[in-house]
Amino acid sequence: MIIVLLGPPGVGKGTQARHLAERFGVEPVATGDMIRAEVAGNTHLGQEARSYIDSGNLVPDDVILRMVGERMKNGTSGGFLLDGFPRTLAQAEGLERMLLEYGQQLVGVVSLVVPEESVVERLSSRRVCPVCGRVYNLATQPPRTPGRCDDHAGSELILRSDDAPDTVRHRFSVYNAQTRPLVDWYRSKGLLSEVDGLGSVDDVLGRVEAVLRA
Ligand code: AP5
């Protein structure tokens, strides 16, 4: 079972993925988190990807497809929730090949929709734990102790390097040019559900769960 979460930067994909993976018994695969782990580990892939991620551009398709392919090859009994992948038509076609190869089925593509101005506001107050990647929001989902992760008390929350306002605007234009076409592509395949991403995290979760269980 494979579920895809689509949507522009900051729309809430990572936040929802954490809850949905638990509810549906699938494993979250977030390509952004995977790349940031490579950058933090200063691996060869991380060195290659750093400039793309910091500037808000997409990491080349072949790098991403290799990374996700490795993850899917190792398999899991429940399936995967893909957060931030695919992001280009070439990646979507690559995913189709992987589904055939590993005998998995794409059961739904959820596209979260939030107006751009709300997303820019969300990202300016997003903070993340550099140890576990848990996402907070100073306005709507603050940590219990200011500036510290609830799960790793010693870890100071940080602002992501690509959350600077100019980079956020660029990430939006990249989304519109390269990823938004996938909305129509998946719609034409009868797999797409568009879900309003405004409201509380629980409200949005309820909407997403409803379309995936329909
Ligand atoms: P990635 O990490 O995937 O970033 P993104 O897609 O831009 O999405 P974000 O992580 O910024 O936001 P989100 O939608 O997960 O929102 P979140 O839940 O955090 O990718 C980063 C980079 O990696 C890319 O730019 C690219 O360089 C590279 N990359 C990754 N995948 C790639 C691929 N497939 N191909 C090529 N390159 C790739 O929420 C945001 C904030 O809002 C948080 O503070 C949260 O607490 C808050 N929030 C969430 N929900 C709500 C709500 N309902 N109400 C109020 N606040 C909320």
Q: What is the dihedral of CA 207, 14, 191, 74, to 10 degrees?
A: -130
66 band by pLDDT with thresholds 50, 70 and 90: very high
Q: How do residues 21-63 score in pLDDT, each as one tens digit?
A: 999 999 999 999 999 999 999 999 999 999 999 999 999 999 9
Q: How do residues 128-137 score in pLDDT, each as one tens digit?
A: 998 888 899 9
* CA–CA gap between residue 194 and residue 211 (Å, rounded): 9
Annotated catalytic residue within 87, 122, 134, 207? 87
Q: For the residues 80-96, what does the mean pLDDT come to?
A: 97
Indicate the SS3 state at residue 147: coil
Nearest CA, atom 50, ligand 1: 12
**Would you state the pLDDT for residue 154?**
83
Nearest CA, atom 53, ligand 1: 201
Lining ligand 1 with CB less than 6 A are 7, 9-15, 31-32, 35, 52-53, 56-59, 64, 84-85, 87, 91, 122-123, 126, 135-137, 140-141, 162, 171, 199-201, 204
Nearest CA, atom 55, ligand 1: 140
